[in-house]
Every structure is written in C-alpha cells, then in structure tokens.
Chain A
Amino acid sequence: MTATATSARSELSELGRSETALRTFLHGLPGVDQVGAEQRAAQLGTRSIKTTAKAEAIDLAIRMVDLTTLEGADTPGKVRALAAKALRPDPADPSCPHVGAVCVYPAMVPYVAEVLRGSGVHLASVATAFPSGQAPLEIKLADTRAAVEAGADEIDMVINRGAFLAGRYKEVYDEIVATKEACGDAHLKVILETGELATYDNVRRASWLAMLAGGDFIKTSTGKVPVAATPPVTLVMLEAVRDFRAATGRQVGVKPAGGIKTTKDAIKYLVMVNETVGPDWLDPDWFRFGASSLLNDLLMQRTKLTTGVYAGPDYFTLD
C-alpha cells in the first residue's frame, strides 16, 4: 500500500469521531449522474454471453448465490432441506458447484449449521431486527451475538434508515461499528435497503458510511420492500467499493438482493461487476446474489447447456 493510501485511510478512519466530519465528508461525495448511471447499467445489460462463457458465468453465479429463506413460516425442516440443496444444488450432476451461503433468520441458524458444518458453504443470518431495523441497539446487538453463537459466520445487518434519512449519520455509523464488534470473526454485510433511500446520492453516501464503519459487504436490500436490487443501484454501489479500495486499500464486497430471478439477470450483474470493478470482485468472497428462485433458473440453464434440451421446473426442488 502506498504512503498516500495509508494516510488517506487514517484520515477516513477519523471521520466517525464527529457528526460534522461525517456529514461534511458524505455530502462532499460527488453526486451521482442519474441518467448516466441508468444508461450505463442498461447498456451493460445488452451484452450477449454465450456458450462456454455462459457456462462459466452460470457456475460462478451458482457459487455466488446466498440461498435465502426469510419467511415467518420457515420451519427447521424447511431450512434443513434448503441447506441440503445448498450443498448439492443439482443432485443429478455432481459437477455442479455448491452455493456461496445459506441465509436464514437467527432462530433457524442452529438447524442449518448442523447440515453445513465443514462443507465450505457459509452460513449467513440476518440480524439487528431485520427487516425494519427499528429496535433498541441492545436488542440488535443481542440478536447479532445470538446468531454468531448459534453458528452463523456471516451477519446481514440492516442500517437504521430512519436515522440515515433524518441525517443522523453518526448514529448509523456507531450502530454498524457496534454490530461489527458483536460479530467477532463473522463477516458483516450491511443492508442499505436502497428501495427506501430514495436517491442514488443517498445510496452512494450510505455505501461509504457502511464501508467507513467497517462493513465487509454492502448489500442492496432486505427483499421485504417493493423496490429491491436494480442494476443502476448496484452500479452505484460497485463504484463506491471501487473508489473505497482506491482510497484505503481495503476491498469490500457487494451483494444485490431481491428481484434477481433469472439467469439472464444474474449474468447482466456479472458483466457489470467485471466492467465496473474488474475481475477481482468476480469471486464468491466479494460478490453474492441474495436470492431464492434464481438458483432453480440457473440450474435449468445449466442443464440446458449440458444436455442440449430445455429443462422444466418439475425436475428441480421447489425450495
């Protein structure tokens, strides 16, 4: 790391000390050109990825899936089945890679941990009063600690959007720092809930805020509000992690979540990753898809490529 990057890093780490410094920095970030971002994201979505490149993209996308179930109706049996699917997404084809992680509610973590132990598939748990994040800090931290103790090695926290939108950046920052501490060795993914942030400028600010506070990943959405991950929002976040690494030397991952349902969508995101931040991020350690139905579509497309015949949903498990 260069000397300038080191000094920039220490300067940035000071920002969290005062509300004013944080505000000055976040509002000093260049504004997002909305039309430009949308145009760029749309343009990158028109690339045609075929044959061997497509096969590689599909396998990579499968390895990047955070297979998710976040329903009130989740049962131990359902999450166990989901974990089994994560280990071996296509039982008919042993060459099919396992997914990146399984993502569940904290109460379901112990059941998934039993199945995933020693497999290399990560176990993510949402925490901090997901999805609203509207609970006292102690409860959020207890939620986080409980999930880690139960065996989660990745924590998906939600930021306090109410505080963020009200301009209380320090409060959001401190919460992320405290949650990161509560995580211990577990990776921290910070959910910005971009559907509630209203503008791309806010998305950029929230991304920087989450990274400054120590988040290992920034994630678009909970999947619980109508507007989830969109290509332009993900583009803005990718630019943020690129600029953050340039400024500090620390690499942060990105996870679009919600609304990504087809292989075509997934490949568009991979193109965007490659063109925006480069191949360093084309790895399950640095880019993930939060999705549930996406996996089956990836498996169907994979089967099409290996057998030459269009597959049908009847031949893949529902959850």
Chain B
Amino acid sequence: MSERVAVRKTYKLFIGGKFPRSESGRSYLVQDSNVSLASRKDARDAVVAARAAVKGWAGATAYNRGQILYRVAEMLEGRRDQFVALGSSVDEVDAAIDRWVWYAGWSDKLPQVYGGANPVAGPYFNLSAPEPTGVVAVVAPESPALLGLVSVIAPAIVTGNTVVVAASPSAPLAAVTLAEVLATSDLPGGVVNILTGRLSETVPTLAAHMDVNAIDLTGVADADLAAELEVKAAENLKRVLRPAPADHDWSADPGLARMTTLLETKTVWHPKGV
C-alpha cells in the first residue's frame, strides 16, 4: 500500500461566513503555507457582507451577543494546541481565550456604564443609550498574532458592530484559524470578515469606502500611512482609532476605550406626564 499523502491546507479569506479564495486568484507563502492575497475587490465584497450582517447583529439582544462571544471562547479552548503549533505561546492563547470571556461579559453591562438617565431642567426623562456605529474596518496588530487580533475584534463586535479585519501580512495563519473558530461559534456570517494579504491594497480602500463607519488603525506601524488613512477616513466622517504605540502591552487590562470609540450615543427625551 502506498504511503498516505497529507492534505495541505490553503488559508483562504473569511467573508460573509464563507471561506472564498481571493477573487484575484493570488496567494502568497507564509510559514510554508499558501495564504490568499486579498485584492481591492475582496475588500469591497467584505464590506458588502459586513453591511448585510449589521441589522441582525446590532438587533440581537446584548445577552445573545454575550453568549455567542462566550461560545467563541469555548471553541478556542478546544483548539489551543493548533494556535500553539502556529507559533503563539500557551500564555498568549490562554490570554486570548480570557479576553473573549472578558468582553463577552461587557455585552449587557456597557450600556449601563456608558449610557443612562441624564438630569435635565424640564419635565422630561432624558436617556442616553450607546448604539453600534455599524461597519468597522480593523487593521490587526502584527504581534501578538492571536491575542492582538482578538483584542481588536472582540471590542468592536461585542456592542453590535460588524468588522472587516485586515490581518497582519506576516501573521495571517492565526487570523484564518481564528476564522475557523468563529465559523463554528454561532456567530452570524458577515459579522467578522477577515482579509489576508498586503495592507497597502486593502486598507486604503477600506479607509475611503463610504459605507464603512469607523476604522481602527491599530496595526498601522507607518506614521505617514496612518496619517494618509485618516485623511481618507475623514471624507465620510468615520470614527478613527489611532495606531497603537509600538510598546503597547496587549496583556494589560484593555479598558473600555476600544468599545466606546466605536459607538454612537442615542439620546431620547420623553415627557414625564403628571
């Protein structure tokens, strides 16, 4: 009997809950694996998928979103070895799992902390509630591959946004493997979309796209590029998260800023009655 030939995996994009190749048909080599090289059009398709998912995801109850994020942590737990094999340390994988759980807990608490009743001089109830801004483009940090990625995706989606993530060009395997985790976690298709490849191809397109509501430039190391992207983002007044400083400690308490930057505040006036 002939020796078995191992099946090699092609790392594909993650768009609308599916794993398509790049429409351009291109790929590049990372750690001996073929990874799709996303084009401008893949970015466009990802935004379409993300936009289509906004209504259902933003409309889901906070409790339900929290459950799904917790489910992601459960699924990730079962795949720890896989991420370690791709180069993440055991500590990093554990921290990434814990981060999903931490953000999952915030789903129904953030509106209480960040919104609430406002005292006003008149016979009205005045209530402010945070709402998701919509489609968020995210440039993932280069390292740590998994923890960094989780730390930018989870705070964006826990409040009801959907994201198009440009994975780090040098560490895409963790991103695509995370997509496999997300695909089995009850997360509706299109809530998270992941593009692998050159940032110079996908990110300017996302920054200029009129149907993207916010952009997180965390993974943009080049200050000039970051400035250029902010200019593009200004065209439709996107919310912008600035690039992370080079010495950012990803294992520290992340705070609330990542979540609150990607929210819009809705304030309602209601007559008090007699």
Contact = CB atoms under 8 A, between A and B. Distances in A.
Interface of A: 308-315
With a 10 A CB-CB cut-off, give which of B205, B210, B211 has the most chain A CB atoms.
Answer: B210
B208 A309 contact: yes
Q: For chain B, give the interface size range.
A: 10 to 19
A301 to B, nearest CB: 11
Contacts of B211: 310-314
Among A310, A313, A314, A315, the one with the most B-chain Cβ atoms within 10 Å of its Cβ is A310
A308 B211 CA distance: 14
A142 B208 CA distance: 54
B171 to A, nearest CB: 27
B198 interface: no
Contacts, number: 23
A313 B47 CA distance: 12
Nearest to B41: A310
B44 interface: yes
B80 interface: no
B236 A312 contact: yes
Interface string B172-209: 00000000000000000000000000000000010011
Contact of B208 (A310, A313, A314, A315): A310
Instruction: Name the residue in A309, A314, A315 with the highest tally of chain B Cβ atoms < 10 Å from its Cβ.
Output: A309
B38 to A, nearest CB: 15
Contacts of B205: 310
A308 to B, nearest CB: 8
A312 B236 CA distance: 10
Nearest to B206: A310
B228 interface: no
Contacts of A312: 209-212, 236
A69 B254 CA distance: 51
A86 B210 CA distance: 23
23 contacts: A308-B208, A309-B208, A309-B209, A309-B210, A309-B235, A310-B44, A310-B47, A310-B205, A310-B208, A310-B209, A310-B210, A310-B211, A311-B210, A311-B211, A312-B209, A312-B210, A312-B211, A312-B212, A312-B236, A313-B211, A314-B210, A314-B211, A315-B210
The 10 A-B residue pairs with the shortest CB-CB distance in the complex, in nearest-first order: A312-B211, A312-B210, A309-B208, A310-B209, A311-B210, A310-B44, A315-B210, A310-B210, A309-B210, A310-B211
Nearest to A310: B209
Given A308-B208, A310-B210, A312-B236, 13 more contacts: A309-B210, A309-B235, A310-B205, A310-B209, A310-B211, A311-B210, A311-B211, A312-B210, A312-B211, A312-B212, A313-B211, A314-B210, A314-B211
